[in-house]
Amino acid sequence: MSAALQEIARYCRGKNTFGALLLCGEWGSGKTYLLENDLPAALGPAYLLLRISLFGEESLEEIRKKIRREYLDRYLTILRDDADEGNLHAGSMSGLQNERPSANDWIFHIGEEDPRFKMYLQNPDAYIKPEPVLAGRRVILIFDDLERTNLSQVEILGCINEYCENLHIKTIIVANEEKIENRSAAETKSAADRRREFLNYSEMKEKLIEQTVRLHVDEAAVIDSILSQYRTGLAGYTDFLKNSRQELCALLTNCEIRNIRSLRSGLQDFERIYEFCMEEQMPETDIRRIFTAFVLFTMLAKNGRISRSSLYGYGLNRLQQKYPDFYHDRCLPLCLKDSITSGNWDDSILRPQIRRMKASFQGMSQPENRLRSLSFAEIDDSVLTGGWKAYLQMAEEGVLSPDEYLLLIRNQIAARAYPAFSWPSAPDMKKLRNGLERSLMRAGNADTPPEFGADPVDDEELARCTPDERAVCERIRVYMEGGEYRRLADRNQLLAACRSGDEKALRACRSAVVSSFDEELQQAVLEYYDALENNRRRIGFADLIGKIASAGKRERRNGTDREPEGLSQLAAMLRERETDAIRNGQSMKAVAIQYFLQKL
C-alpha cells in the first residue's frame, strides 16, 4: 500500500471528524483512480464512498442535489442487492441491521396513501438528508475536480464545510492546487485582488482542511497497475506491452508529464498501429521504435505541449533533440501525428504508411542511411568510412529530404571546428544543389507537404557557411517560408477541411494562399458546396473561397498577377449548377451560385 493510500485510509477510519482531507496531485496522476479502486479495497465493505464531481458546476444548490441523489441511488442499490441475496426481513423494508438507523428510512415504512409518499415520488432527492452513516456503513464524501468548477473555490469550500463540520461526514477533496492558484491569478484584475483571492482561499482552506496528502507518481507501480488491468482482444498486444515495461517506466520518468490518462490513451491508440505492424510482419524492435515515439507524442499532445506551425509542421517542438532516447521523426510520420492531435484515424492512410515505414527501417542498418540522421558528434568511424560515398550519391540524386540536406550542411560546419578531421571526400556542391532541387520537386508532388523536424537556419549559422553552403540553406529557407511549401500546405489544408465538412476547419483556412485549384480540390469544393442546406452557409462559403482565390491572384510572378490554375474550370462547373437550379425552380439557390461566381 502506498504512503498516500495509507494516510487516506487512516483518515477515513478515524473516529473523529475535525475537518476534510485534501488530496492534491497533477491532472491525470491517478487521484480519482486511487479513490475509486484502491481506497475501497483498503477500507472494506464497512465504508461507502460517494463521489461528487464538481466539474463545470455553476450552482451550490445543484451540488447539494447531486449529493442527495448519490445518497438515494446508493441506498436503493443496497436495497436491491440485499433483496437479490434474500436478506430482507419481515416487517422491515430496509432489512438492514443498522447500529444507527438512517433518518431517511421513514419513506420505506409509510404506505402509498400517505401524502408524503406522493410528494416523495415527485421529487425523491428533496427528502434525503445526508448523514455520516448510510445503511450501517460509514459514508465518505469525495468532492472531485475542485479546480474545474465554475464557482469560486471559496464558495465550494463553504458548501463542503456544511457536510464536514456540521454533519460530521468524513470528506475528501480532490484538487490540482497549482491550477487553482493559476486560475485565481488569471481571473482577478489587480495585485490587490490576487492577494485577496489567495487569502480567502487560504483562510477557508485553513478552516476546513484537517490534513493534506500529495500524490506522487510511483512510475514502476503505475506501469505495473496499467499493464495488469489492460484488456484487449488483439493477440500478442498484451505481451508486447509487458515486454515494453522498462521503456514505459523510463518514458514516464523522463518526459516531465505524470498524466496517467494520457499514457493509457497512448497505449489504447497504438493498438491499431500494432495490428498493422503485425500484418506487415515488422520486426518487434522496429515496432518498439514507433511505439515509444507514439506514446511520448500522445502524452505531450494531450497535455498541450505540441503545437503545429503552418510553415514547419510539428518541427519546432525539438522533440528529437529533447528526447533522443524515445523519439525520432522517422518513427512518427506526419499522418500519425495528425491522427494523434486530431483524433481522426484513417486506416486507408495508416496501413500503407506502415508498409513504407517497414521498408524504411529495413534500410536503416546500412551506414549510408544512418548518416542521414546522425549529427557530427554521433558519427562513428565505421559508419563514416562504410557509408560516406553512397550517402553523397543519395544527396546528389535528390534522395534526401530537405531536413537531411540541412543536417549535411550543419555537419560540414561542425567539422570545421576540428582542423585534424577531414571527410573521406568533399561533396560536389553543384551536384548537391541539383539534388536538392529534385528533392524539393518530389516533396511538392507528394500527397502531403514535407514536415520539417529541423529548426530553420539562423543568421549565425549562415555566417559560418561557405557561399555554396549558404546557397543551399537559403534555398531551403525560401522553400519553407517563401511560398512553395506554404501554398502546398494551404492547398492540403483546404482540401482536408472541405472533405471533413467541418465549418470550424474551413474558417481556419481563411488566410490560405492557393495557386492551383486542381481537379481534386475542385471536386472537394463542389461536394462541400452541394451539401450545404441553406443560402446563408452557401454565401459564407463563397466569401471564403473568393478570398482564397484573390490571395492566389495576388501572388506575383514576373511582375504580373496570375489567376490560380483551375479557377475557370471551377467557375464553369458552378455555372452548370446555376442552370440546373433555374431549371428546377430553385431561384434562391441560383442567386447564391451567382454570388459565388462573382466572388471568383
Q: What is the mean pLDDT of residues 247-264?
A: 84
Band the pLDDT of 290: cuts 50, 70, 90: very high
Angle at 497 (CA atoms; ends 491, 502), nearest 5 degrees? 165
Q: What is the mean pLDDT of residues 374-380?
A: 88
CB 93 within 8 A of CB 108: yes
Calculate the alpha carbon distances from 547 to 434, 472, 533 in Å. Answer: 36, 34, 22
Residue 565, pLDDT score: 80
Band the pLDDT of 85: cuts 50, 70, 90: low
Calculate the alpha carbon distances from 313 to 317, 449, 505 in Å. Answer: 9, 9, 17
Q: Which of the pair, 153 or 13, is modelled with greater confidence?
A: 13
Spatial separation of the C-alpha atoms in residues 370 and 388, rounded to whole Å: 10
Select 3-214's CATH number: 3.30.160, 3.40.50, 1.10.3210, 1.10.287. Answer: 3.40.50
- Look up residue 53 and give its three cell numbers: 464531481
pLDDT at 194 over 80: no
Residue 173 corresponds to which amino acid?
Answer: I
- Three state DSSP letters for 549-585: HHHHHCCEECCEECCCECHHHHHHHHHHHHHHHHHCC
Most confident of 192-206, 369-383, 486-500: 369-383
Q: What is the mean pLDDT of residues 523-552?
A: 87
Q: Which of the pair, 511 or 132, is modelled with greater confidence?
A: 132
Alpha helix stretches (DSSP H) within 255-397? 260-279, 284-302, 319-322, 334-342, 347-363, 367-370, 381-397
Contacts of 131 (CB under 8 A, 6+ apart): 102, 103, 104, 139, 167, 169
Residue 550 corresponds to which amino acid?
Answer: S
Percentage of the chain surpassing pLDDT 90? 30
Contacts of 26 (CB under 8 A, 6+ apart): 176, 178, 258, 259
CB 17 within 8 A of CB 23: no
Angle at which helix 535-553 crosses helix 587-599, to 10 degrees, equals 20
Report the mean per-residue pLDDT for the chain.
82
DSSP 244: T
Residue 96, pLDDT score: 38
Band the pLDDT of 185: cuts 50, 70, 90: very low
Pairing of strands 137-144, 133-134: antiparallel
- Look up residue 98 and give its three cell numbers: 443498522
* Long-range contacts of the stretch 313-318 (C-beta < 8 A, 24+): 313/337, 313/449, 313/450, 313/451, 313/452, 314/451, 314/453, 315/403, 315/451, 315/452, 315/453, 315/454, 315/455, 316/455, 318/455
CB 73 within 8 A of CB 50: no
Angle at which helix 519-531 crosses helix 567-583, to 10 degrees, equals 30
Phi and psi at residue 560, to the nearest 5°: -125, 150
Q: How many CB atoms lie within 10 A of CB 446?
A: 11
CB 442 within 8 A of CB 401: no
Calculate the alpha carbon distances from 399 to 83, 201, 396 in Å. Answer: 74, 61, 8
pLDDT tens digits, one per residue of 208-230:
898 999 887 777 878 888 898 89
Q: How many CB atoms lie within 10 A of CB 327?
A: 25
pLDDT tens digits, one per residue of 15-39:
887 899 999 887 767 788 788 888 9
Considering only CA atoms, which of 103, 105, 104 is closest in space to residue 95?
Answer: 105
